[in-house]
């Protein structure tokens, strides 16, 4: 397999008032195409920051972030936005759906930036809604859907542009255990059958079991399961 994500000596700092806080410390990480990786760690460990760096939502202060063969930490803002639209599908804990739009229209939103015709967009939308088991619910608005169905719509929206990787930030954190299991099983199917590369931040050991690889982050460093710095 080829490496789809490579982080080399990545450091990220934030200013908080007069204080500078270093959240990620010289981190190295490689992720192979087709992996389902769970990033675990306590609150404040840097998990979401790391996910945002990989997804091109944030930039490092030092180091290299290479995703899908592109050095994204060097891309100008406009080029980075286009790169994200082409390569990354985002799934969040809160579904971030537009309440006045139907499920179909919510899923279609990323395609409005493409050159696809209306008919082509509709065909893509129907395909991914069928894939997540909601082909019959496309005309419903978010308020008419359960939490699990709303997250399925969010997954369909993340898939509709056929991204290189899917990044998930606590995708089941707002769901009950049974519904969470259904969503995680769906992600597992997308990984195994559709060969999607998935990176998931979670604090839940049960959720992490669905991944093919698990890494622990603590105070901005990757550590093994016993708290020692990973080699």
In a domain, 6, yes or no: no
Number of domains into which the chain is organized: 1
Asked whether residue 22 is assigned to any structural domain, the reply reads no
Look-up: residue for tokens 């698990």? Answer: 214
pLDDT of residue 128 exceeding 50, the answer is yes
Tell me, what CATH number does 144's domain have? 3.40.50.300
Does 224 have pLDDT greater than 70?
no
| C-alpha to C-alpha distance for 28 and 50, rounded to whole angstroms | 11
What 3-state DSSP class applies to 15? strand
Looking at residue 31, its pLDDT comes to 95
pLDDT of amino acid 206: 92
111 in any annotated domain: yes
At residue 6, does pLDDT exceed 50? yes
pLDDT of 226 > 80? The answer is no
Q: What is the pLDDT of residue 91?
A: 92
Q: Is residue 199 part of a domain?
A: yes
Least confident of 5-14, 170-179, 205-214, 219-228: 219-228
Q: Please give the distance of CA 79 from its chain centroid, rounded to a whole number.
A: 20
Torsional sign, CA 179, 184, 188, 193:
positive
- Residue 82: per-residue pLDDT: 87
Identify whether 120 is part of a domain.
Answer: yes
Over residues 129-165, the pLDDT tens digits come to 999 998 998 999 999 999 999 999 999 999 998 999 9
CA 107 to chain CA centroid, nearest Å? 16
Residue 229 reports pLDDT greater than 90: no
Quote the pLDDT of residue 92: 87
Q: What is the pLDDT of residue 225?
A: 47
Tell whether 91 is covered by a domain. Answer: yes
Residue 65 pLDDT grade (very low, low, confident, very high; cuts 50, 70, 90): very high
Which pLDDT band holds residue 113 (cuts at 50, 70, 90)? confident
Residue 8 lies in a domain: no
Q: Is residue 144 part of a domain?
A: yes
Residue 176: what pLDDT? 87
* CA 69/CA 136 separation, integer angstroms: 38
pTM: 0.89
219 φ/ψ sector (left φ>0, alpha ψ -120 to 50, else beta) = left
Domain containing residue 103: 34-57+77-223
Q: How far apart are CA 25 and CA 11, in angstroms?
A: 5
Distance CA 109, CA 100 (A): 13
pLDDT score for 112: 85
Q: Is the pLDDT of residue 166 over 60?
A: yes
């Amino acid at each position: 397999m080829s490496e789809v994500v490579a982080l080399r000596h990545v450091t990220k700092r934030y200013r908080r008032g007069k204080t500078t806080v270093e959240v990620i410390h010289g981190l190295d990480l490689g992720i192979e195409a087709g992996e389902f990786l769970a990033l675990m760690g306590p609150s404040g460990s840097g998990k979401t920051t790391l996910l945002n760096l990989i997804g091109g939502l944030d930039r490092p202060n030092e180091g290299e972030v290479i995703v899908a063969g592109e050095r994204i930490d060097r891309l100008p803002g406009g080029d980075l936005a286009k790169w994200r639209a082409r390569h990354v599908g985002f799934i969040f804990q809160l579904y971030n759906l537009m309440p006045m739009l139907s499920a179909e229209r919510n899923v279609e939103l990323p395609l409005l930036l493409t050159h696809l015709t209306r008919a082509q967009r509709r065909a893509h939308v129907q395909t991914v809604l069928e894939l997540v088991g909601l082909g019959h619910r496309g005309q419903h608005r978010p308020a008419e859907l359960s939490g699990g169905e709303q997250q399925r719509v969010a997954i369909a929206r993340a898939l509709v542009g056929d991204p290189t990787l899917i990044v998930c930030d606590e995708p089941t954190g707002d769901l009950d255990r049974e519904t969470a299991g259904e969503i995680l099983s769906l992600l597992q199917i997308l990984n195994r059958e559709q060969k999607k590369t998935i990176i998931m931040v979670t604090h839940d050991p049960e959720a992490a079991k669905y991944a093919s690889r698990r890494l622990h982050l603590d105070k901005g460093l990757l550590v093994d399961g016993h708290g020692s710095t990973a080699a």
